Chain A
Amino acid sequence: MAEPSVKPIVVALAGNPNSGKTTVFNEITGARQHVGNYPGVTVEKKEGEREFAGRALHVVDLPGTYSLTAYSIEEIVARDFVIEEHPDVIVDVVDASNLERNLYLTSMFIELDVPVVVALNMMDVAEARGKHIDVTLLAELLGVRVVPLVARRGEGMKELLAAIVDAADHGQGQEVHVNFGPELEPHIAQLAGEISSRELADHLPARWLSIKLLEDDAQIRRRFEAAGEAGRAVLARAEEARRHLEQMIGDDAEVALADRRYGFVSGACREAITDAQLQRTDWSERVDAVVANRVIGLPVFFLFMWLMFEMVFRLGNPLMGWLDTFFAWLGTLTRATVPPGQLQSLLADGIIGGVGGVLVFLPNILLLFLAISFLEDSGYMARAAFVVDRIMHQVGLHGKSFISMLIGFGCTVPAVLSTRMLESPRERLVTILVVPLMSCGARLPVYILLAGAFFPAAWAGKVIFAVYALGVFLALLMARLFSKFLLTGPSRPFVMELPPYRWPTLKGTAVHMWDRGWMYVKKAGTTILAMSICMWFLLSHPTLPPDATLTDEQSARAAIEHSYAGRLGKFLEPALRPLGFDYRIATSLVAGLAAKEIVVSTMATVHSLGESDATSRELREALRRDPVFNPLVAVTLMVFVLIYIPCAATVAAIYKETGSWRWTGFAVGYTCVLAWAVAFVVYQVGRLLL
């Protein structure tokens, strides 16, 4: 048992993306992990606990990075954690089969004055490629502890933990620095001396600060700017050194530093690796010859997307149906046991309806994240982005945004959640904002009803297709406008590794799926619940006294017209008049905020019909008889339903993912305005033409 007085060893887990860092994290902490965000940013922070040899370890998973610059939020988060929180040990997970690039990051960590343990992962892959790594020699050359691992099989984990404890207790041991050569070293030493003598280092290594000053690192520069006279003197000195270096080496210091680092790393690799130069079949190469192929790359991509879609919604929808039935049964049960009145209505319609409304999405969401995590862990996601990036790039988005948008055809909620796979916050936000324009499954019943009622069967399908196409067009258009005018600023490099294909591990995929699923239930659940109660209140209050002279259908119609939603509908009628809508359509639209398919059932209610669905003949005939309706109004309404405010669950998901009420409000606001504008054009132009 650990001594309660001994503080846990804080371990920062770092490494390149695709180095197997997550697998190492899962292997170390098992189920004892929790997910949060780094303070102030939307970068995910995973932490976990482990006990080893009587010691408690607290492991913090740093974002996967290739470098430690001030240009990307992940890199800043990673280095800030190390320099501000000063963990006891940094574990740098390194892909042994791609040692040179992976060790580049290691060369930066060893400057931070925190003991480093290199976890040499995927040793099996390296061996299979004929690369033999002399671990002892590598450790000596880098001056750090090196532990060979095969994390996906759990091999070497004990040794890694032992090395962590050893490093925490005994420190780094030997000091090895990258030698930046005769041009750079004097400047580094001089700057470091100046920083130390002016006592500006704070608690940070002076050598690291001088290197960062030579790189002209924005964050470190601000640090010195804030340090008054002395800080500015050092900055001036650094500026001079940079100019001098530029004259001497004909390129700026940043290039020279990166070059020396790679020199240091490739030198170590040359000595420590014996390459048998095996003639091996490169499977990744063969797979890429198909999936990234110039001709069939796109068809293959669409095939995979179709398979994913089929799996998620084919497999998910029956499960969704069962959950739906279950909640309906629970509602009936509540109505049977709780006496009629406000409480019954709140419990049955508000809470059970609301919670149910959230949880019915769960199978779809779990399946979707299963598929996404499979695509990501196997390495295909990067290829998918490669294949479709051209399209998305033209509207200022990333190739991966395309996948979120496709998911949006199924359901907007998981589509919004799936934007997590995008690294750039800007691209993520734009994708979140436009994803609701992709016509989701819940909007289809509305289209079927309206197109079915006002167009001959041969035309109905074409009209519906046109509405879908309009959605895609608007999504791309808005993405372009948003990234051009609203979310400007330097775009992030696309430069992306295409990792070798790997079989995802069951554990990794399961953990990933569970994390996302649980987060959805927990966080989105609470917000959606609140929204559902709001919607319930709008639709059922104030109540009418029961009137025995009316039929059930008539009293339902009276109730909804009397409710806040009905009043809101009447209030909105003048605004919607130019679109050809009356107060009953407006009321249906208000009700549709809960979920868009509710537009159909509300439409039935306001036409004094009982339970109806989109294919009900009664409802279609009622609509056809209604003088307000004609084919043009039907099309306008379809367009409006396509675009206007996403459903309550989506709004909650947007809030959850953006973490900002402002952006959530913006999403609601702009879809409203856009819906009105487009519907207005459709209706007015249609009237002129017809």
Chain B
Amino acid sequence: MPDLGAAGLSASMEDYLEAIYQLQAAHQVARVRDIARLLGVKMPTVSGALKALAARQLVDHEAYGYATLTDEGRELAEQVHHRHTAIVELLERVMQLPAEQAEDEACKLEHALSAAALERMRLLTSFVQENEGVQQQWRAHLEQADLCEVIHEHAAKTRPLAEEVTLDTVPPGSTAEVTRVCGEGPIRRRLLDMGLRPGAEVQVKRLAPLGDPIEITVLDYHLTLRRNEAANIHVRIVAQPLSQVGPGERVQVLEVRGGAGRQRHLAGQGLAPGVQMTVLAPPPGHQRVVLQVGEARTEVGHNIADDVLVRML
């Protein structure tokens, strides 16, 4: 059996073999025009390549306009094809990339891989496919990571959409970004000196027992200021606790605070990072937050809702 590794074919030669293999599988024969279209090259280029492959007795290219694989050529092409599918499978099934992207990237990757690396890829794919638990864990992990992407993109793209409010009105537990610092002389300067400059991220920790002053964190330290002072700071809310969201609002979960147990528990209820949902009006006297997640309806206690950070949609 001819060995693809030992055949010493160039990347484009491999591509031609694979293209002919695919076309033959579909139409019995491979026309030069179809090969050119499939690989995105000009017809004379295809003819040149076919001549080279014919010289190595991998294709038959007697009739103009047509090419068929020799037995040896078919075997090599099959290997190329299997390698390709293995990579596509990994990218698509395991890595969860869109099919088109997986196809595209596989074409670029396949020629550079050693047989050993390819074998490992196959093993990894089958291992993940066969283990339900591993698959779930991996998906959750992916979602989390993707979400960070979403947050970053969101922060970059939708900034002008978020409403500007003053810091004294931001509910405790929320994270906000400073946009402007107003106020007169000493107070303004003090705020700037303490690190509250435009672009800084602040988190509102809590209100004092009598509602004033408030405690925030900025630059990784804790700061307290009176409400009338905080009113000088204009911010955009980046994230806020679910408990602070009014009925009727649509939100997306950004983060679930607390231990792994709580995160698993809430994920079971459909409350995982990335999930979008609507806050519903609780029935009168009801002490819990009622949510519509997809088709399902679920509810959580207020203290748990404090630890679910969401952004408004």
Contact = CB atoms under 8 A, between A and B. Distances in A.
A258 B193 contact: yes
A100 B220 contact: yes
A393 B208 contact: no
A360 B221 CA distance: 43
Interface string B168-196: 00000000000011001111111111110
Q: Which bracket fits the contact residues of A?
A: 35 or more
A297 to B, nearest CB: 4
B197 A497 contact: no
Interface of B is mostly: mixed
14 contacts: A67-B190, A71-B189, A104-B193, A259-B197, A288-B206, A389-B208, A389-B213, A389-B226, A390-B209, A493-B229, A494-B225, A495-B225, A498-B215, A500-B222
B223 interface: yes
Nearest to A65: B193
A269 to B, nearest CB: 10
A390 B212 contact: yes
A100 B195 contact: yes
4 closest A-B pairs by CB: A390-B210, A67-B193, A498-B222, A71-B186
Q: Which bracket fits the contact residues of B?
A: 35 or more
Given A386-B215, A498-B215, A490 B195 contact: no
A98 B187 contact: no
A194 to B, nearest CB: 25
A495 B208 contact: no
A686 to B, nearest CB: 35
Contacts of A495: 187, 190-191, 194, 223-225, 229
Contact of B198 (A72, A259, A499): A259
Most B CB contacts (10 A, CB to CB) among A100, A258, A388 go to A258
Contacts of B190: 66-67, 71, 493, 495
B187 A387 contact: no
Contacts of A390: 208-213
A474 B111 CA distance: 89
Contact of B197 (A67, A255, A297, A492): A255
A539 to B, nearest CB: 47
Interface in A345-394: 382, 385-391, 393
Interface string A562-601: 0000000000000000000000000000000000000000
Nearest to B214: A386
B220 A389 contact: no
Given A66-B193, A259-B197, A493 B208 contact: no
Given A98-B221, A496-B225, A498-B222, 9 more contacts: A71-B186, A71-B190, A254-B192, A258-B189, A389-B212, A390-B208, A490-B186, A493-B191, A493-B225
A255 B196 CA distance: 10
Contact of A297 (B180, B209, B219): B209
A293 B205 CA distance: 11
B137 to A, nearest CB: 19
Contact of B189 (A69, A259, A389): A69
Given A71-B190, A255-B198, A495-B187, A393 B212 contact: yes
A254 B199 CA distance: 16
Contacts of B221: 98, 101, 497
B102 to A, nearest CB: 32
A6 to B, nearest CB: 38
A72 B186 CA distance: 8
Contacts of B193: 66-67, 69, 104, 258
A333 to B, nearest CB: 55
A258 B197 contact: yes
Interface string A89-107: 0000000001011001000
B187 A284 contact: no
Nearest to A294: B209
Given A294-B207, A297-B208, A255 B223 contact: no
Given A101-B195, A262-B195, A386-B208, A254 B189 contact: yes
A298 interface: yes
Interface in A508-545: none
B224 A382 contact: yes
Contacts of B186: 69, 71-72, 490, 492-493
B267 to A, nearest CB: 20
Interface string A204-224: 000000000000000000000
